[in-house]
Structure 1
């Protein structure tokens, strides 16, 4: 075997060993979460490893911060603290932003129940961003506004838009991309427009886009359940001053 083959073999074996160990460690975590406690004998049987290997894996998990306890004697065993939270989540940039915005919206509704930890959760998510990106997230929050609840008349004709349309609106809003919409007005007339989603407004449960309309070259409000089609088109926009939306933007609107 030449030296290159030996190097490849060593590299392959190292990567294979690492993957196998990571898989075993994840399985061990799953077992610990599945029951209140385990004996070392049961864990060894489930994993097919020696006592030495099991103790090494448990020590590695403790070192990584997992609160693993062990008790001696009858009724004891090894357990993962039941109060331990979820594993690390791999969320994309925009998934975290949407989660922060959603939590802020729920917080703004001032529900007396199930909202005690929202501020702390929101802050932890916000801190996950690098310092330079936090100002960008804060600016996005300032573009989300909360108004009054929708009245009964509006609710009687409201139905949530299709998920695909909602996703295109959010994408255009967050990325400041131009959005082409097929919009139906109160007179049931439909027209295609290209808009800039400068702000979004919630009059619970109805969402509106406060936009700059390229067709009219002026500010307009679009109710999202009247948008029949939506797609991103080439181009982007810069944020306009609130003065450009005089007559639409209300000082009493609460930003999140």
Structure 2
């Protein structure tokens, strides 16, 4: 790479990291003169970058959006993040799968070999979103690479694991030891499905709470997840079901609301039209009280069709709310 080309790439990288750059600061960071900065800015403009001159004591530059897509510059973590996002988009079923695959091929063609190897190590399963799950949680690309590499190599993984919440507990003194089997993404979160050697059972770990330890442990013989389908297994875990991909508590009610007012908020429930003022709703949750509470969000009269456990859930919720309203414990 020539000195001039390298300088242009460094200049472009700086312009992409913040909104406004004083010309004197750019010259100092790049070790060049103000005149060279102006000349390089003109070259980037010829390449399609919309770079505006800014007012001020020393003048400056701002990289704005343009009418066409010019060549882009990404750092290593951005390249991995972009490629992982394209890989996930290709299986989401939202109509962009083919375009995502073509974009992924394009990105991989120009990747340095060190990044291509990291990306090839990241193999994951995307499963549908489950109502009621939490918000997105960021995971460092190196963590995803470490987890996926251990999965592909069938090597025992050791890691520290933190609990959630604002007062999260520190990592356990002894690391968790697991046989990693699947990396899963859902609801903008990442999960590791693994056989926990310390608990002799399957576990689902949030990847953003994992701090891998090195080196990895001995190789293991992969097991089959219960039911044979990792997507169904993780979906069942999210729903609080021990194995099957269904809510452990499932009931049916009649809501005194028109069906078109209920459908947008029914999640994975099934809505039946019973006329202008009523509709049926069959829906599930992880407990009967949780199901009763979820149905109360419609702020309407409710008739329980069944089962009796749902009516009991409403009764327990009512008693609990009465105690809360009276201030008693």
Name the TM-score, length of structure 2 as normaliser: 0.40
Higher helix share: 1
